[in-house]
Chain A
């Protein structure tokens, strides 16, 4: 069975807590230093988006074991304004040009699977998975 734990994001310091949780879980799954750093960077990016654009939300970390394949899932969810134009957010150069960091394309690159569910006025849920190779 999957094991899931979470951190609520309200302040910038909660981003650190989410990273810590993600790193601990990534270590447990067996990821090396470089992948740990990638996973935590993805968590930073997602948590900061929650903090900046939705105000509040949570980061959940789930250890995965599917048919002998081990991995980690980051689930970032909020009840914020939602993303009006997902295609734009997924474009290279869109968020980075504004100085907002690696943006969603960055998270997608750091991880293996990436999925956005968003609805205007209701919130956003982003799931990003990395598999252990």
Chain B
């Protein structure tokens, strides 16, 4: 096979030296593709060239032949760089594949179902900026009178955040069945996270609970982005925040609890910083802009609202999310 290659190369070279036509060069280009396919390295190409030339132009001075040996020496590392590149590309493809599988696993792991609650319309959107997400939304609810929702954000992105999130989910499963209020739920999760998650990982979480009988939304926050309460009667937004340390920092952390009564057409928006810190090439998206976007769809169903806000912010960011995006809307019907 190499002998055949050398023969073909010699013929193409001979023709080119005779005619110097574009067609000859085109044949050369096509031949180079064949060389790459056959995994022939740059230094070998020069060696093939040298021996072809020896037949075609035998009378060249010896220094010319030496120069080819010098060129071969020059090309060895280019050949190595090429091989390394090929192997890294292959590894990247394998990792990409693994990531896609992992992302499916995560999707299944973090699956949540919107509960049905009397007089409450719920919707949410959560989209990772990369393959794996560090955001987490979890609904709790098994009767018509009550529903809980957790929105968490692991600082950082990608695989480390996703692994940490699995831990939070485990905590959520154990904590959400207790009859504790939001601050109690956060305390339980905090202790689990504190024990099992690395010191360098920080998790913020807001946990809210809606009681349909009293139309009350109570909430607690572990250093999470404040939620927004839209008061329809006043046509304005009020921030809902409650003091509390990030999850996993101290097992003794205490979480303040707040509550508001929701009137007809009021809604609560709980989000992660992928919403509030959306970045465009011109800088952060102004908070007022975000409020305007939410307001503009306040009469639509909760799910449509969440989807619209995502679509708008995604568009503003050139369809390249800088951070995981999560938004939950709880709307009083």
Which A residues form the contact surface with B (CB < 8 A)?
32-34, 37-38, 40-41, 92-93, 96, 101-102, 105-106, 109-110
Contacts and interface: CB of A to CB of B under 8 A. Distances in A.
Given A33-B47, A33-B69, A34-B44, A92 B84 contact: yes
Contact of B43 (A37, A96, A102, A105): A37
In the A-B complex, the 5 residue pairs with the closest CB atoms: A41-B76, A106-B80, A102-B80, A34-B47, A37-B73
A37 B69 CA distance: 8
Contact of A93 (B50, B73, B88): B88
Interface string B234-277: 00000000000000000000000000000000000000000000
A32 B47 contact: yes
A40 B70 CA distance: 13
Interface residues of B, number: 16
A52 to B, nearest CB: 17
Contact of A41 (B69, B77, B91): B77
A34 B79 CA distance: 11
B172 to A, nearest CB: 37
A112 to B, nearest CB: 14
Interface of B: 43-44, 47, 50, 69, 72-73, 76-77, 80-81, 83-84, 87-88, 91
Given A33-B69, A33-B72, A37-B72, A92 B77 contact: no
B123 to A, nearest CB: 44
A54 B244 CA distance: 54
Contacts of B81: 96, 102
Nearest to A102: B80
B47 A106 contact: no
Contacts of B76: 37-38, 41, 110
A38 B47 CA distance: 13
Contact of B84 (A33, A40, A106): A106
Contacts of B84: 92-93, 96, 102, 105-106
Nearest to A42: B76
Nearest to B72: A37
Contacts of A105: 84, 87
Contacts of B91: 92
10 contacts: A33-B47, A33-B50, A34-B43, A37-B69, A37-B72, A38-B76, A41-B80, A92-B91, A105-B84, A110-B76
Contacts of A40: 73
Given A33-B47, A102-B80, A105-B84, 9 more contacts: A34-B43, A34-B44, A37-B43, A37-B76, A40-B73, A41-B76, A41-B80, A92-B87, A105-B87
Nearest to A32: B47
A41 B83 CA distance: 15
Contacts of A102: 77, 80-81, 84
